[in-house]
Structure 1
Amino acid sequence: MSGTDGRPTTAGWGPPGPTFSPFDNTPELRPLRTAARAGKWPEVRAWFGSLDSVEKVTTGASVLADIDGVETFLEQAAADLPADPLPRTLLAERYIRIGWDIRSGARANHVSRDQFDQFHDWLRRAERLLIDVCAEQPGYAPAWTARLLTARGLELGRAEARRRFDRLSAHHPHLYRAQTQLLQQLCPKWGGTWELAHGFARECATSAPDATDAAAVVALAHIEHAADLDGTDSAAYLRGVPVRDDLRFAAQVSVLHADYRPGWNSVGAHSAFAFAFSLGGHHALAAPHFAFLGDLASEFPWQYTGDPRATFLKFRDAAFQAQGGAHR
C-alpha cells in the first residue's frame, strides 16, 4: 500500500518489514546493481552520468562498493580511461570496502595484526588512486569523500581528515555522507572527543539551510555517544532532557521541516532520529519518523542492536502506541 509519493504508508503493518537494503529502499539504485552484477561498465557509467547531484553520486559510489566482484570491471575501466575520475574513484571505494570487510567493525583490540596489515594494504591502494584524482580535479567531491574513509582507516589524524573535509566543503558544502564520515573520525573510538563530535554535529545543523538532512548528524552524534556508554548509562543519557531537546530541534529544522523534500538519504536520516528518540524512551517524538519510514530502514544505526529487525518493530509499535494507535 503506497501513499501519493509512492512510499509505503503506515497502514497494515505485518511481516516481512522492515527492509534494510538500499536497493529495496531506493528503487532508482536498482539499475546500477543490475549493470554492476553483469559487469557492464558502459551501463554503470551511463547510470552515474544521469544523476543530477553530487549527493547521489556519492551514494551510488557507496552502494556499488558493496557489490562483490565489481573491482574486476572497474580495474579495466580505470586502465582504459586514465583521465576519467569516475572509474578510479569507484574502484577506490571498492578497495576501501574490501579492506574494511577484512578489518571488520570490531574495536581495534579485537582486530588481529594480519587483519590490520591487509586492511591498510587495501586502503593504501585506494589512497593512491584518490590522490591522483584529487590532484587532477580538486573539486571532485566523490574522491574527497572516499578520502575521509582512508584518512580514518590509515590513522592519518583528525587534522588531516578535517583538511580533506574542508577541501570538499569549499566546493560542495553540506554533503551528508561526508559529514557522517568526519563525525566518525571525531568520536573517541577514532581518537576524537565527545566535545569535538558534538561540536561538529552542531556545526552541520547550524551552517546548513533548513529542510536538509544535515542536522541528522546531531542524532548520529548522540547515538555514538550512547553506544560508548554501558547499557544503563546509555539509556539514561538519551533520556536526558538536554539530549531530547537537542534531538527535537535538529529534527524540526531538518527532516520534519515543512519544506523538506525526501531524497536518497532520507531513510538514513529518519532512521537516526527514530532510533535515538526510541532508545531514550521518547516514543511519541519517534512516531513521525516511523510514519515516514513505513517498512524501510537503513542498516546504520539499527545494526548497533543485536536484532535490528526486532528492535525496529518493537520501537515502531511503541511509537504508534504513544500516539494512541493513530497510525496502526
Structure 2
Amino acid sequence: MGESTVGGDRPLVIDPFDAVPGLAPLRDAAWDGDWVATRAFFEKIPSAEAEDASFAATLLAGVERTEWFLEKAAKAEPADPLPRTLLAERYIHLGWRARGRGLAKDVPWDQAELFQDWLHKAERLLIEVCAEHPAYVPAWTARLATARGLSLGQSEARRRYDRLAEHHPHHVEAQSRLLQQLCPKWGGSWEVAHAFAGECASAAPDGSHAGVLVAEAHIEHFIDLEGAQATEYLRNISVRDELHRAARASVLHPDHPRDWHWTGDHSTFALAFSLGGHLTDAAPHFAALGDTASESFWRYLPDWKSRFTEYRTAASAML
C-alpha cells in the first residue's frame, strides 16, 4: 500500500502515512477502529499546532470505513468537539469522492445529490461544534470545505476563514482551502486568488510552508488555461521568479522544519517548476523528495506517476 513502481524505477512512496513515519500510529488506530488510540494521537499535538491537527484530520478522513467508529465516538462523547469534527471530515471526504473531480456542470445529478447529502451531514455537525467551541480551529477549517461544496459563496467562506484566523493567522491548511474558493471555478477571480496567496506567504514567518500557496495558485491558473496559453503561462519568467522567491522563503529556507507537510509542499513546487520547464529550479525539490511524492496537485496530469519520474530524472541531471 502506498507504493507505485513506475517504468522500472525505484518504488514511489505516495502514501503520506508511509512518507511521514510520525503519522503511522494514526493509520494503525484507524485500521483497528481504535478510538482511544485515535484520540491519544490528537491529544499529543500541541494546541499551538492547530494546522497539524487539521492536516491529520484530513488524512484520517481518507482511511476507509472510519465513519463507523467515529460515529460511535461522537455519540459516546457528545461534549467533545474532536470526534464530531473528525466525523465531519470523513463525511466531507465521502462527499467529494461521490462527486468526482469534474466541473460542476459535468457532475451527474445522482452524484451531485449524494455529494450534497454528505456535506449537509458534515455541516450540521460542524455548526454544533463551532457554536459550542467557537475557537476550535479544526472545525472552522472543515467548514471551509463545506462552504465551497454547498456553494455558500465568497463572503461566507471569508467569514469562516476570518473566524479561524482570529486564533491561528498562519494556518496554511485553511488558507489552501480558501484559496480554492477564490479561484474562478468556484466563483472567484485570478486577481483575488493570486493576491491572497501572496499575502499569506508574505505575512508568514520565514521558514513557514506558506509559500506553497503561491505554487498552488499558479498551478490552478495553469490548469484553467488551454493549449499554447497554458504552456506559456508557467514558462513566464515573472511567474518563475515569484515561485522561486516563495520557495526560498519557505521550504528552501534554513529555518524550515521537516514536518508533516514537507512531501506535499516539495511535490507542489516540483510540479510548478517542471510544468514551466524550469528544471534547475525543480531539482532541489525532487532531491528533497527522493522516492516520495504527493499526488495532491500531480493528479491533474494524466499518468502522473510516470510524469513525476520523468521530470525527476530530467531535473536530477541539472544538479
Q: Check whether TM > 0.5.
A: yes
Report whether the alignment pairs 1:238 with 2:241: no
Distance (Å, rounded) in 1 between the aligned partners of 2:227 and 2:177: 25
Aligned to 2:188: 192
The percentage of aligned residue pairs carrying the same residue is 55
Residue 131 of structure 2, aligned match among 129, 135, 143 = 135
- Distance in 1 of aligned mates of 2:263 and 2:34: 28
Q: Which residue of 2 aligns with 1:17?
A: 11
Q: Does 1:90 align with 2:86?
A: yes
Counterpart residue number, 1:38: 32
The answer as to 2:266 corresponding to 1:264 is: no
**RMSD after superposition:** 1.2
- Give CA deviations for 1:135-156 in whole Å, capped at 9, x if unaligned: 1111111000000000000000
Kindly indicate whether structure 1 or structure 2 has the higher relative contact order, using CA contacts under 8 Å at least 6 residues apart: 1
Maintained 8 Å contact 1:95/1:123: yes
**Counterpart pick for 1:296 among 292, 298, 301:** 292
Q: How many residues align?
A: 311
Mapped contact 1:18–1:312 kept (Cα < 8 A): no
Q: Which residue does the alignment assign to 1:7?
A: none
TM-score between both structures, scaled by the size of structure 1: 0.92
Residue 42 of structure 2 is aligned to residue 48 of structure 1: yes
> 2:279: which partner in 1?
283
Deviation at 1:241, TM superposition (A): 0.9
Report the equivalent of 1:205.
201
Equivalent of 2:247 in 235, 251, 254: 251
What is the CA-CA distance between 1:261 and the residue it aligns to? 1.2
Paired letter, 1:27? P
Shift of 1:275: 0.5
> Scaled by the length of structure 2, what TM-score is found?
0.95
Q: In the TM superposition, what whole-angstrom CA distance separates every residue of 1:84-138 from its partner, at most 9, and x where no partner exists?
A: 0000000000111111111011111220111111111110110010011111111
Query: Helix, strand or coil: the match of 2:205?
Result: coil
CA distance in 2, matches of 1:71, 1:315: 38
Separation of aligned partners in 1, 2:147 and 2:106? 21
What residue number does 1:326 align with?
Answer: none
The offset of 1:17, in angstroms, is 3.1
Structure 2: distance between partners of 1:281 and 1:142: 37
* Partners of 2:12 and 2:193 in 1: CA distance: 30
**Secondary structure of 1:88's match?**
helix
What is the distance in 2 between the residues matched to 1:101 and 1:56? 23
3-state SS in 1 of match to 2:13: coil
Opposite residue 283 of structure 1, the aligned amino acid is L
Runs of 5+ unmatched residues, structure 2: 1-7
